[in-house]
A and B are shown apart, each in its own frame.
Chain A
Amino acid sequence: EVQLVESGGGLVQPGGSLRLSCAASGFTFSSYEMNWVRQAPGKGLEWVSYISSSGSTIYYADSVKGRFTISRDNAKNSLYLQMNSLRAEDTAVYYCARFYNTAIVMDVWGKGTTVTVSS
């Protein structure tokens, strides 16, 4: 079964850091590009970051540029999101999503992990 499982969410103070992980299974992780998408409480979905299959190409939304770092370890079938200088507005459920680049679609989603930034 194709599956993505996020972990690492929690409560963190403003200005703090957190590292999210996404474990992939059931497919050849190293062949796929990946994305992080988030959803603030009661709000819509927001694309956060993209990483190519090799990790050589990376993009970020302006809202997180300079604070968040996406990375992957293909040997461990894992995707990561290092989040620094966290703000209250970063409070959200964070989803990892597989990107099927031939069709330009996020075709597999994890269930998400919740990040709360609060003092």
Chain B
Amino acid sequence: QTVVTQEPSFSVSPGGTVTLTCGLSSGSVSTSYYPSWYQQTPGQAPRTLIYSTNTRSSGVPDRFSGSILGNKAALTITGAQADDESDYYCVLYMGSGILVFGGGTKLTVL
């Protein structure tokens, strides 16, 4: 069974930079997995941030960026703001319509 791994939690200071990662329990993440990233605040629906590794969704500030770092997908927030405090989920495409979510990272800005 494929497991998509994310850091359970992370903290960043206001104005700081943080990189969240998305890996596989077995193997490396590449662009072929079309990694996407979603932001969710409590009680709200997910918001699409990044797709196809590094393409920002419409209206997403350019302080959010996506990449492949080593064997993982990565979401970098540059100049973190208080309202970036959220849960962040990555999704990898396994082919044949199958999507797998990571467990999510709870980001604290303090």
Contact indicator A45/B34 (Cβ below 8 Å): no
Interfacial residues, chain B to chain A (CB-CB below 8 A): 34, 36, 38, 40, 44-48, 51-52, 55, 57, 87, 89, 91, 93, 96-104
Mostly, the B contact residues are strand
Q: Which residue of B lies closest to A110 (CB)?
A: B45
Binding site for B on A (CB under 8 A): 33, 35, 37, 44-47, 50, 52, 57, 59, 95, 97, 100, 103-112
B92 to chain A: closest CB distance in Å? 10
Interface pair A95/B45, CB less than 8 Å apart: yes
Which residue of A33, A45, A57, A59 contacts B46 across the interface (Cβ within 8 Å)?
Answer: A45
In the complex, how many angstroms separate the beta carbon of A75 from the nearest chain B beta carbon? 23
**Residue from B46, B55, B91, B98 in contact with A109 in the complex, judged by beta carbons closer than 8 Å:** B46
A104 and B34 in contact, given A45-B40, A59-B96 (Cβ under 8 angstroms): yes
